[in-house]
Amino acid sequence: MNKVKVLVVFGTRPEAVKMAPIVKALKNDEEHFISKVCVTAQHRDMLDQVLKIFDIEPDYDLNIFQSGQTLTQITCRALSGLEGVIEEFKPDLILVQGDTTTVFSGALAAFYHQVKIGHVEAGLRSGNLYSPYPEEANRMLTGVLTDFHFAPTQTSKNNLLREGYDENKIFITGNTSIDALGWVIDKNYKFSEEALNNIDFEKKKVILLTAHRRENIGEPMENIFSAVRRAAEENKDVEVIYPMHLNPKVREIARKLFDGMENVHLIEPLDYLPFTNLMSKCYLVVTDSGGVQEEAPSLGKPVLVVRKETERPEGISAGTAKLAGTDGQVIYNELNILINNEEEYKKMANAVNPYGDGMAAMHIIDAIKKKML
């Protein structure tokens, strides 16, 4: 029997987390697949953290990372690096995941070589090309080139149908982030990070903060951090933990706005294991991250989404997430309610999972087998 040659391409932390279950599923099915992993390394440290946890050794590493990289530099370096890999491995299918610039470059490289494309996490839309920026465009541009759209939910499938995509090429699979999450949460997890070990999760209301979006850098991010600071100043039972993204622009704003705060802990990005276990132990989450918005509902953690739009409305419909925007006063008010109003808190703290059955990777490789063997 012929085997499908699959090249799995990714470059950043969230892509690595969400591709890991697919990489494993392909390797476990050698009867049907010859698979290789190519990392662009758009991220270096934050990517390597995830590769280590999931024990993935890339077959190709384009090592494109440059500090302060521009979107053009990422695109050009990834596109030209991928050319050699595609010519050498000659895949039948290239898989990309999500909405980063690596995803768009991977899809474009595949298209230039007339290799079929599978887009994992297809069809999410905010409806605003500039928010998230450039991710909304990356996802749409990738969609145009895609042969198999792996939509996590019915909502994302509907978005694709509305744009005129052929229903036979769309598969509802769930989100692979839920597969990955199922592997790592441990009730008895002990942190090795000192800052986390010293926190009493029973007595303190721990707010887990993450923020990194390009369109938030500047005033919106200052508003977000100021609101969190005010809530931390006024509520002494609150502890804020912010594993800072490595983007120097983000870190500069965080250091300025949280200066002198004893109950705000600015720490280095956490490995996936401590990060997800911290999420499962915390009181609430404040984030502009895409992946964290998907993970927190499964763990029953209220999420304030500090963005103007979200392409992930499912958590909001399910009642665990609220779109708080980037106005400081609004964010502060929402925080205050969740910190001080038990009834309102309980309404949001329900474990719901609108993102699939935790078997998304299997659904994806089954669809590939059906279509390509």
Residues lying near ligand UDP in the complex (CB under 6 A): 13-14, 17, 177, 210, 212, 243, 269-270, 272, 275-276, 289-292, 295
Cα(151)–Cα(333) distance, rounded to whole angstroms?
A: 35
Q: Binding ligand UD1 by CB under 6 A: which of 27, 71, 162, 198? A: 71
- Secondary structure of residue 184 in the 3-state scheme: helix
- Give me the catalytic one of 32, 113, 214, 230: 214
Cα(8)–Cα(341) distance, rounded to whole angstroms?
A: 46
- Residue 276 CB burial class (10 angstroms; 0-12, 13-18, ≥19): buried
- Give me the catalytic one of 125, 139, 149, 212: 212
- Tell me: does residue 14 bind ligand UD1 (CB under 6 A): yes
| Whether the Cβ atoms of residue 373 and residue 31 lie closer than 8 Å to each other | no
- Give me the catalytic one of 135, 136, 239, 288: 135
φ, ψ of residue 255 to 5 degrees: the values are -65, -40
Q: Which is nearer to ligand UDP, 19 or 331 (CB)?
A: 19
135 is catalytic: yes
| Whether the Cβ atoms of residue 6 and residue 93 lie closer than 8 Å to each other | yes
57 is catalytic: no
- Residue 101 interacts with, from ligand UDP, ligand UD1, none (CB under 5-8 Å by kind): ligand UD1
Other residues' Cβ atoms within 10 Å of the Cβ of residue 300 = 14
294 is catalytic: no
**Sites for ligand UD1 among residues 216-235 (CB under 6 A):** none
212 is catalytic: yes
Which tokens belong to 65? 């990372």
- Give me the catalytic one of 15, 43, 61, 99: 99
99 is catalytic: yes
Q: Binding ligand UD1 by CB under 6 A: which of 30, 45, 252, 342? A: 45
- Secondary structure of residue 292 in the 3-state scheme: helix
Q: Which residue has the tokens 């969400």?
A: 18
Q: Binding ligand UD1 by CB under 6 A: which of 4, 10, 12, 292? A: 12
DSSP state of 187: T
CB of 333 to ligand UDP, least distance (A): 24
Catalytic site positions: 99, 121, 135, 212, 214, 245
